[in-house]
Amino acid sequence: MEFDLAAIGRAQDFLWQGFKYSVSLTAFATVVGIFFGTLLAMARLSSIKWLSMLASAYVNLFRSLPLVLVIFWFYILVPLLTGVDVGAEKSAYLTFSIFEAAYFCEIIRAGIQSIPRGQVNAGYAMGFTYRQTMRYVVLPQAFRNVLPLLLTQTIILFQDTSLVYVVGATDLLGAADKVAHRDGTLFEMYMAVAVVYFVVSFSLSFLVKRLHARIAVIR
């Protein structure tokens, strides 16, 4: 079997489009997931029992389901509820954001709980309300403490975007799969995708280690 390097060159534009979609999906789901994950974390730590139980049920539900099942679920459910066929690629944005919020919630909750109670009392002593104390005192420190974990989860999210190709979305793997079956270059396309995932994930993991070491020094 000969490795046809030229086949990758011929498909580079299509692969690039798939890669951009994977990165776009990762970035969107990370930003939205962290935002809603923060709200969920605060709800789980709330003294309001029903709010805490509701947030806990949400987190436990999505952390107990395979992502690929949730992708199929929302891909089928959204058109049924809205009457609008948003397509596989757009529904993936919703699916990943909702799913990842549960994981980001647990990371951020751990970060909040890592802040000494004295920091909260200091905020109250300065005249801050609960919301101001969380915004200006607790959350900035919590995010700094768990930043490596948030970035690690983002790397996992980037790898998981490959699952959207099962509903026909053209991510990096989906683009490679289409080219591979069209041109009969399965080995070349899948090898190229594996290299891209490895390079991106390994590079980001290296940066996370450096960041973790730097935060440890600051502490």
Give the Å distances, CA to CA, from 185 to 32, 106, 164, 195: 37, 42, 21, 16
Whether pLDDT at 113 is above 80: yes
pLDDT value at position 98? 94
Whether pLDDT at 89 is above 70: yes
Give the residue, 23 or 181, on which the prediction is more confident. 23
Which segment of 7-11, 72-76, 138-142, 153-157 scores lowest on mean pLDDT? 7-11
What is the DSSP annotation of 86-147?
--HHHHHHHHHHHHHHHHHHHHHHHHHHTS-HHHHHHHHHTT--HHHHIIIIIHHHHHHHHH
Whether pLDDT at 218 is above 60: no
Single out the residue of 188, 194, 180 nearest to residue 8, CA to CA. 188
pLDDT, tens only, 196-215: 999 999 999 998 888 877 77
pLDDT, tens only, 23-59: 999 999 999 999 999 999 999 988 889 999 999 999 9
Which one-letter DSSP state was computed for residue 166? Answer: G
Question: Cα(190)–Cα(177) distance, rounded to whole angstroms?
Answer: 8
pLDDT value at position 209? 86
Per-residue 3-state assignment (H helix, E strand, C coil) for 201-215? HHHHHHHHHHHHHHH
Which one-letter DSSP state was computed for residue 194? Answer: H
pLDDT, tens only, 128-164: 877 788 888 888 888 888 998 999 999 999 999 999 9
Average confidence score pLDDT of the chain: 87
Give the Å distances, CA to CA, from 90 to 96, 102, 159, 167, 177: 10, 20, 18, 11, 20
Question: Cα(143)–Cα(123) distance, rounded to whole angstroms?
Answer: 17
Question: Cα(90)–Cα(76) distance, rounded to whole angstroms?
Answer: 13
What confidence tier does 22 reach under pLDDT thresholds 50, 70, 90?
very high
pLDDT value at position 216? 64
Phi-psi label, residue 83: left if phi above 0, alpha if psi -120 to 50, beta otherwise: left
Give the Å distances, CA to CA, from 34 to 38, 39, 88, 203: 6, 9, 23, 22
Question: Cα(141)–Cα(119) distance, rounded to whole angstroms?
Answer: 10
What confidence tier does 179 reach under pLDDT thresholds 50, 70, 90?
confident
Selected from 1.20.1250.20, 1.10.3720.10, 3.20.20.100, 3.40.50.970, the CATH number assigned to the domain covering 5-218 reads 1.10.3720.10
For 1, residues 6+ apart whose C-beta sits below 8 A from its C-beta are 187
What confidence tier does 219 reach under pLDDT thresholds 50, 70, 90?
low
The dihedral of CA 19, 25, 31, 34: what is its sign? negative
pLDDT value at position 180? 85
Which sequence spans correspond to the domains of the chain?
5-218
Question: Cα(19)–Cα(180) distance, rounded to whole angstroms?
Answer: 16
